[in-house]
Structure 1
């Protein structure tokens, strides 16, 4: 008898292997008078049910799978060349299961703290930034530090709730490779922790970029004041201290300074209500090859991407300010300050997430800003989403990797607006930019360029349509209503461009398609070496497809909303 989160995770892993047809697993699907089933190599017949959002068949809810039998199946269908990847994914599965069980054990305590912090949500009294007006982490004059800590918890409330919902597609997203239980509870967003940053003195001649506004005085980090003449202080995430300590030309400060709390992305932390700080992490997520370090060129490329987008104004859309950054030519020595606009900011990933007292975040937001009308809120969101991405695709040959984690609603001070951030993974067509009269950014990463419209459409479908639209709306509304809402919003956005060739292509790839392209995420992220997949970018590797839920709504809800935490 299986219990806890094991059957849930085992089903998600087997579903992903089937969706990506790893090792020809789809050929083992059988159809008979008893229904559709997947015959495992060990002889077990696993009943499948139709109607999932992103694939034709998924493991039936009543099938109580064990992770060991799914991993045994993986080993038996894998190619010998994938042995290292299979072992890595096996570790990933076990770490994901441990993280799921750990989250369950801490769930009630985390929700209780969030409930107490509800009064600290955006809109309360402003606090001075750390280091200003004499406020530091070491002094608690008039309760400044305690008040700031409560403010930070309120600022990450929706980020934390978003972390309660699993990734819509990647089955082992809870895994942060190599981290212990103690490291997870102290730093992962689903636990709503607080921690202080560490600091490293880096030789000034190695530093490129701006001065960090939040850097302390050297003695506050436990370092000699004299180093200020030759070195610059870099923030270091506590989980990256061991790696930074191995760099011979860095002097690591022994004293922590400046409280922070993690956002959904974990490597990005909140410093105050309108400021995030992105830091390298010594781990991997969404696959072994998705390292959370920061290559120096990506910071400059992200700033270039932001400037490109600012040259393409779209009504109702805001671009986060990500122009302030620094690096020292090392993947664990870099930082990015993200400045957010005024207003209440709600990450899109949080909308289908559960509320502490029941219901979903989207209901709370709709209750405050839309008279309780969830459908009107989602309709407005989709109008903004497709208004931006359809325009970028058709007029400028550009597709953003703006999934639900990189998008937010900005509420207050007028109509709802859509905020996009972290755009260093966009794909753009130099020829279409030139045709539109825009300069082509000098991206260091050539993978950000393509003149292939189908490559751009792949990003639009798998990111904008699947993750930013469908995973959110289907996670809130009944399938027929969700399908109609997404379809109508996309059709409306496309209608503005008539018979433009790029509009026809996008319509053919979405509204009129028999099937929708998907990404083979575990195949490229962990299981198969890049030399064998041929993937230039493991985050843009395709080869799978699923039913078109815009034409034929699924009969089951997405896996992201199915998990119910034991109480």
Structure 2
């Protein structure tokens, strides 16, 4: 693929997203499968399958980002942040070109790793996943404010390792006990008594140095490797470490610092999920332990220690985002296993877990990065982490479960995580569990010739139907029997239009026009 091919494909994906979200009423320019823009016509194709949209932009017509920018300027409100949008698109293009150059060498390095170094919750599959596009957001490769040199040194797709920096922080709030590999003051060149040591990502050093409540240590300590999220690193065989990163991904407003309240909130939701698993022991799910953290009421001074269960130590831990990635040994990651059997078992686990949670009034924002397959000698299980984006209907929860001390959602700091509206829960279930975790992989398998769409779709319908019982009539009506399905407006809310005008309390739960229900369509092969 050439640079022009990359730009044409990216431009088509961005226009697809803007049409899907109907940004600034863009759909009004559609006439007879043509998007009649002020400066040029754009051919549209009937989508087959109609995943999220009935039409897609024909990628073969040599579009350029300049066509996208001209379109946006023609329809944008003067208050829209078109400059940030353009930077995001250009960053995504530059990163995609960098990936094209770097991937062969990275794959050669990874191909030399013996199988035992590909297991456990390390970074092997995370690195491979980082070369894939986000299934919905077209500029997912953009990381605002970071240079290409920054990415080469610290981004997961380049499989680097680097030493962490540290800072002594005065009067922080702490939970849990730090792991044994945590440094002492002398390890990082500090005198004792200056405060509690917090990890600092090298890209955040300049900002942390300016914080009045922190003393940056002169010496680095602990060699780490980035995971798919980049701000989280593998620090030990069963430990990851999450730190603030001064960038934004999936939109300018999706900052990758750490808001202090997300740490206790995520820990509370994890405890709640463990209560559910105690009552539902047959569910094939493992949870990461996220009870150890610290923060100083500053988005750039915080950390989370993520501990993985011992069952993951010798298994292949494959994020859903990695299944469709190219493997360094040839083919795709998913082809290490029987594709149809694996997808079937995965869907069964995915829907049994998330439908059960829905009965308890819980919908997780557990997307492809936060759900992994645990593949070893035991039957397939899901590994779930990072629960601070959950949505909980507290009334529904109390009907099924008396919250234990420390796991009461009424104690959540972010009140946006609670609702009394099952429609809101269903939207999270559909846009995350159904769209991103089930249908997007099925669509990708079909695109790569690994599993026909009709087969993948049948598996989705059958496994969802298996999971839905007599008490799940509402969720069935919003999925298998729905006339249309909700979709997120990620580009609109994430970058172009501010919260005051979208009305989005949470930009990650802002929805655009509904799309076709692909679950009902049996016409596409």
Alignment counterpart, residue 316 of structure 1, candidates 284, 300, 322:
284
Q: Does 1:388 align with 2:353?
A: yes
Partner deviation per Cα, 1:282-330 (whole Å, 9 max, x = no partner)? 0000001100010111100000000000010142111111111111221
Q: Does 1:231 align with 2:195?
A: yes
Gaps of 5+ in 1: 125-151, 367-372, 557-567
Alignment counterpart, residue 401 of structure 2, candidates 437, 447, 452:
437
Q: Does 1:348 align with 2:349?
A: no
The answer for the alignment partner of 1:184 in structure 2 is 151
Q: Does 1:92 align with 2:66?
A: no
2 CA distance for matches of 1:209 and 1:62? 54
Partner deviation per Cα, 1:151-194 (whole Å, 9 max, x = no partner)? x9xx3110111111110000000000010011011111111111
Q: Does 1:421 align with 2:395?
A: no
1 CA distance for matches of 2:199 and 2:132? 29
Q: Does 1:506 align with 2:439?
A: no
Alignment counterpart, residue 284 of structure 1, candidates 228, 248, 260:
248
Alignment counterpart, residue 435 of structure 2, candidates 454, 463, 466:
466
2 CA distance for matches of 1:5 and 1:553? 32
The answer for the alignment partner of 1:138 in structure 2 is none
Secondary structure, counterpart of 1:286 in structure 2: coil
**Within 5 Å, which residues of 2 pair with 1:89-128?**
89-122=85-118
The answer for the alignment partner of 2:142 in structure 1 is 175
2 CA distance for matches of 1:459 and 1:553? 25
Q: Which TM-score applies when normalising by structure 1?
A: 0.86
The answer for the alignment partner of 2:507 in structure 1 is 538
Partner deviation per Cα, 1:404-461 (whole Å, 9 max, x = no partner)? 1111111235222111110111001111111113223210000000010000000000
The answer for the alignment partner of 2:35 in structure 1 is 38
Secondary structure, counterpart of 2:252 in structure 1: coil
1 CA distance for matches of 2:345 and 2:44? 39
Partner deviation per Cα, 1:253-297 (whole Å, 9 max, x = no partner)? 122111111111111111122111111110000001100010111
The answer for the alignment partner of 2:448 in structure 1 is none
1 CA distance for matches of 2:45 and 2:395? 46
Secondary structure, counterpart of 1:404 in structure 2: coil
**Within 5 Å, which residues of 2 pair with 1:544-555?**
544-552=513-521, 555=524
Q: 1:308 to 1:192 in 2, by over 3 A?
A: same
More divergent stretch after superposition (273-282 vs 433-442): 433-442
1 CA distance for matches of 2:367 and 2:216? 35
Give aligned pairs, total: 504
Secondary structure, counterpart of 1:229 in structure 2: coil
| CA deviation after TM superposition for structure 1 residue 523, in Å | 0.7
The answer for the alignment partner of 1:488 in structure 2 is 462
Secondary structure, counterpart of 1:296 in structure 2: coil
More divergent stretch after superposition (71-80 vs 45-54): 45-54
Contact kept, 8 Å, 1:122 with 1:273, in 2: the verdict is no
Gaps of 5+ in 2: 446-450
2 CA distance for matches of 1:207 and 1:534? 32
- CA-based RMSD: 1.7
| CA deviation after TM superposition for structure 1 residue 122, in Å | 4.9
| CA deviation after TM superposition for structure 1 residue 4, in Å | 4.3
2 CA distance for matches of 1:422 and 1:384? 18
| CA deviation after TM superposition for structure 1 residue 2, in Å | 7.2
Q: 1:288 to 1:123 in 2, by over 3 A?
A: closer
| CA deviation after TM superposition for structure 1 residue 232, in Å | 1.2
1 CA distance for matches of 2:369 and 2:436? 9
Segments ≥4 residues shifted beyond 4 Å: 553-556
1 CA distance for matches of 2:289 and 2:40? 55
2 CA distance for matches of 1:282 and 1:384? 35
Partner deviation per Cα, 1:479-500 (whole Å, 9 max, x = no partner)? 1111111111101100xx21x2
**Within 5 Å, which residues of 2 pair with 1:46-445?**
46-51=43-48, 52-82=50-80, 85-122=81-118, 155-203=122-170, 205-213=171-179, 214-224=181-191, 228-313=192-277, 314=280, 315-341=283-309, 342-343=311-312, 344=315, 345-364=317-336, 366=337, 373-394=338-359, 396-439=360-403, 440-441=408-409, 442-445=411-414
Contact kept, 8 Å, 2:165 with 2:219, in 1: the verdict is yes
| CA deviation after TM superposition for structure 1 residue 219, in Å | 2.8
| CA deviation after TM superposition for structure 1 residue 346, in Å | 1.5
